[in-house]
């Protein structure tokens, strides 16, 4: 990366259409860039909740003319870490999917294990594992679903830096790091792990070259880039939030003066 200038699409044009509370917020620019780069035909997310990560994948597909399908799998009941939640979350996700991503998104309201039978071996280009975060649950999700990932496909793991309560994604991902060559970890925002399944014919893209370069300096700079990108996105959002109010104040001031003059 030392001599490469990587100017990601997220910095050029990404305005999140979906913004809801989730610790996933720090990885939105990367998610947008990854989808833009690898152009997945089949995306599967295990653990959707209010859809922040899922709809970022979808947005990148639409805005980059990616002709694929995206499956969101969740019981939409909650788990030991999110706690139980009511049906309004699912209804909101359903509404957003219909409103913006009709035709290529499928919400599979079921347990991950029930959904397995709907997917062929080697068929998923991008798999995101974000269900229950205990060591055992993440391991089970990975072992069940990895065979469904196409050779050269990508698997994402959320919360690989979260060492709270009985979270164990960090431990499972550390084991994968020992066994896999093409693997990378973002440390900010509770961590996001990225693994490329060996084999196949994966696209050679600037981003994947950087991710799987195995060069510590490149990796350090990539981590810095996406940590800054997350801050930049948030700062821009904050700035936008205040702008309309400033204009409103200015308008009020202007009108008041006119009234006084009249």
Ligand X SMILES: C[S@@+](CC[C@H](N)C(=O)[O-])C[C@H]1O[C@@H](n2cnc3c(N)ncnc32)[C@H](O)[C@@H]1O
Pick 24 or 212: Cβ nearer ligand X: 24
Instruction: Compute the distance between CA of residue 122 and CA of residue 126 in angstroms, rounded to an integer.
Output: 11
Instruction: Compute the distance between CA of residue 27 and CA of residue 192 in angstroms, rounded to an integer.
Output: 8
Closest approach of Cβ 179 to ligand X, in Å? 24
Pick 32 or 49: Cβ nearer ligand X: 49
Closest approach of Cβ 212 to ligand X, in Å? 24
Pick 69 or 206: Cβ nearer ligand X: 69
- Could you tell me the end-to-end alpha-carbon distance of the chain, in angstroms, rounded to an integer? 63
Residues 148-207 binding ligand X (CB under 6 A) are none
With binding defined as CB under 6 A, does residue 49 bind ligand X?
Answer: yes
- Near ligand X by CB under 6 A: residue from 4, 86, 111, 166: 111
Annotate 101-115 with b (16+ C-beta within 10 A) or e (fewer). beebbebbbeebeeb
Closest approach of Cβ 31 to ligand X, in Å? 9
- Near ligand X by CB under 6 A: residue from 58, 132, 225, 233: 132
Other beta carbons within 10 Å of 75: 17
Closest approach of Cβ 64 to ligand X, in Å? 20
Helix (H, G, I), strand (E, B), or coil: what is residue 167?
Answer: coil
**Stretch of residues binding ligand X (CB under 6 A), selected from 31-39, 46-54, 61-69, 145-153:** 46-54
- Near ligand X by CB under 6 A: residue from 6, 17, 19, 22: 22
Instruction: Compute the distance between CA of residue 203 and CA of residue 71 in angstroms, rounded to an integer.
Output: 22
Written as one string, the DSSP assignment of 38-96 is H--SEEEEE--TT-HHHHHHHHHHHHTT---EEEEEE-SS--TTT----THHHHHHHHH
Pick 11 or 75: Cβ nearer ligand X: 75
Asked whether the beta carbons of 198 and 228 are under 8 A apart, the reply is: no
Pick 84 or 239: Cβ nearer ligand X: 84
Asked whether the beta carbons of 1 and 215 are under 8 A apart, the reply is: yes
Pick 91 or 220: Cβ nearer ligand X: 91
Taking alpha carbons only, the member of 254, 208, 243 closest to residue 35 is: 208
- Near ligand X by CB under 6 A: residue from 39, 41, 69, 77: 77
**Stretch of residues binding ligand X (CB under 6 A), selected from 127-135, 149-157, 182-190, 242-250:** 127-135
Judged by the rule CB under 6 A, the positions of this chain that interact with ligand X are 22, 24, 47-50, 52-53, 74-79, 82, 111-112, 130-132
């Amino acid at each position: 990366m030392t001599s490469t200038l990587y100017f990601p699409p997220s910095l050029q044009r990404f305005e999140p259409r979906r913004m809801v509370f989730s610790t996933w917020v720090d990885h939105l620019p990367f998610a947008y860039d990854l989808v833009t780069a690898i152009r997945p035909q089949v995306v599967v997310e295990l653990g959707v909740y209010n859809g922040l990560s899922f709809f970022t994948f979808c947005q990148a597909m639409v805005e980059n003319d990616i002709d694929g399908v995206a499956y969101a799998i969740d019981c939409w009941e909650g788990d030991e870490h999110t706690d139980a939640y009511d049906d309004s979350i699912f209804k909101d996700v359903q509404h957003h999917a219909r409103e913006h991503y009709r035709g290529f998104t499928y919400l599979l309201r079921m347990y991950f294990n029930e959904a397995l039978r709907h997917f062929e071996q080697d068929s998923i280009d991008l798999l995101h594992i974000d269900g229950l975060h205990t060591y055992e649950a993440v391991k089970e999700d990975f072992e069940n679903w990895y065979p469904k990932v196409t050779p050269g496909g990508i698997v994402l793991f959320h919360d690989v830096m979260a060492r709270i309560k009985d979270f164990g994604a960090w431990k499972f991902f550390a084991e994968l790091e020992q066994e896999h060559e093409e693997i990378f970890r973002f440390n900010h925002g509770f961590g996001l792990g990225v693994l490329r399944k060996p084999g196949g014919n994966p696209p050679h893209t600037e981003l994947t070259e950087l991710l799987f370069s195995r060069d510590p300096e490149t990796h350090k700079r990539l981590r810095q880039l996406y940590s800054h990108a997350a801050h930049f996105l948030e700062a821009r959002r904050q700035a936008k939030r205040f702008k309309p109010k400033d204009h409103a104040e200015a308008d009020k001031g202007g009108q008041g003066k006119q009234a006084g003059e009249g």
